[in-house]
């Protein structure tokens, strides 16, 4: 996610607890989605789409923080 902002993301993960929490939640959702898509974890109807929407919302929040801190 945002490879061009890797340095800013690393900085924020260590200096901003809220950003770090959002980033970890985004990564957790990503892994959960991958596990469901691979059939490792069972998924109820529509669960993957719901998780993808949550993940996208988190990505938007992370990007907004990056923009405010001058990452873009």
pTM: 0.89
Residues 6+ apart with CB under 8 A from 34: none
Place of tokens 């789409």: 49
The pLDDT averaged over each successive group of 10 residues in the chain (72 residues) is 91 97 98 95 93 98 93 64
């Amino acid at each position: 996610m945002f490879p061009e902002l890797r340095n800013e993301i690393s900085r924020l993960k260590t200096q901003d607890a809220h950003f770090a929490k959002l980033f970890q939640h985004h990564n957790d959702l990503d892994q959960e989605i991958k596990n469901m898509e691979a059939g490792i974890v069972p998924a109820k109807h529509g669960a993957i789409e719901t998780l993808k929407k949550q993940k996208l919302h988190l990505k938007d929040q992370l990007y907004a923080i990056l923009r405010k801190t001058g990452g873009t």
